[in-house]
């Protein structure tokens, strides 16, 4: 069964959020008003609601030799799309963090990088060497 993921998050500025996801990430927009916005992130629905300033402390964790944000969301894409995204976003004035291959030569090996959206959310883009290992335990 194929299902879609939905995540709703507060945002500081709806127009900056729209511009980031539509113009930078090149995601399609769904329904929206002046106060909220649906984003089609590779078939998954992100809903942003303008809430003004909010306090959110990012905590970190260690994976292998990397420090990663505990709170983040992301999408798993084929390697060709990952390469295109990484190349295009690298050419922009964005801070891309933790571009790495995780679990190298192990079950679940994947490429990953993070970029921060205008609200301070970390968005991760992953590509698995073998897509059948996305949920593999061994």
Summarised one tens digit per residue, pLDDT across range 95-116 is: 898 889 988 998 889 999 999 9
Cα(26)–Cα(17) distance, integer angstroms: 12
Measured in degrees and rounded to the nearest 5, phi and psi for residue 25 equal -75, -25
Q: Of 73, 29, 62, which Cα lies nearest the Cα of 37? A: 29
Q: Which CATH class is domain 60-133?
A: alpha beta
User: Residue written as tokens 């945002």?
Assistant: 11
Domains in the chain: boundaries: 6-50, 60-133
Residue 51: what pLDDT? 78
Residue ranges of the chain with per-residue pLDDT less than 70:
1, 3, 52-61, 70, 137-138
Task: Output the six-digit token pair for 75.
Answer: 């999408």
Cα→Cα distances 17→28, 54, 79, 127, Å: 13, 15, 26, 24
CB 4 within 8 A of CB 44: yes
The two domains 6-50 and 60-133 share their CATH topology (first three levels equal) = yes
Residue 138: what pLDDT? 64
Cα(64)–Cα(54) distance, integer angstroms: 31
List the Cα angle 117/20/115 in 5-degree steps. 35
Task: Please give the span between the terminal C-alpha atoms of the chain, in angstroms, as a whole number.
Answer: 23
Using DSSP, state whether 15 is helix, strand or coil: helix
Q: Which CATH class is domain 6-50?
A: alpha beta
């Amino acid at each position: 069964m194929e299902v879609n993921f939905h995540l709703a998050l507060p945002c500081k500025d709806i127009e900056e959020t729209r511009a980031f996801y539509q113009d930078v990430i090149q995601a399609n927009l769904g329904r929206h008003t002046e106060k909220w916005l649906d984003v089609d992130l590779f078939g998954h629905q992100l809903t942003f609601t303008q809430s003004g300033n909010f306090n959110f402390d990012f905590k970190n964790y260690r994976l292998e030799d990397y420090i990663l944000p505990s709170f983040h969301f992301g999408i798993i894409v084929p390697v060709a799309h990952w390469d295109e995204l990484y190349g295009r976003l690298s050419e922009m004035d964005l801070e891309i963090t933790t571009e790495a291959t995780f679990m190298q030569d192990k079950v679940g090996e994947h490429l990953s990088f993070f970029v921060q959206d205008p609200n301070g959310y970390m968005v991760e883009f992953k590509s698995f060497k073998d897509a059948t290992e996305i949920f593999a335990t061994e």
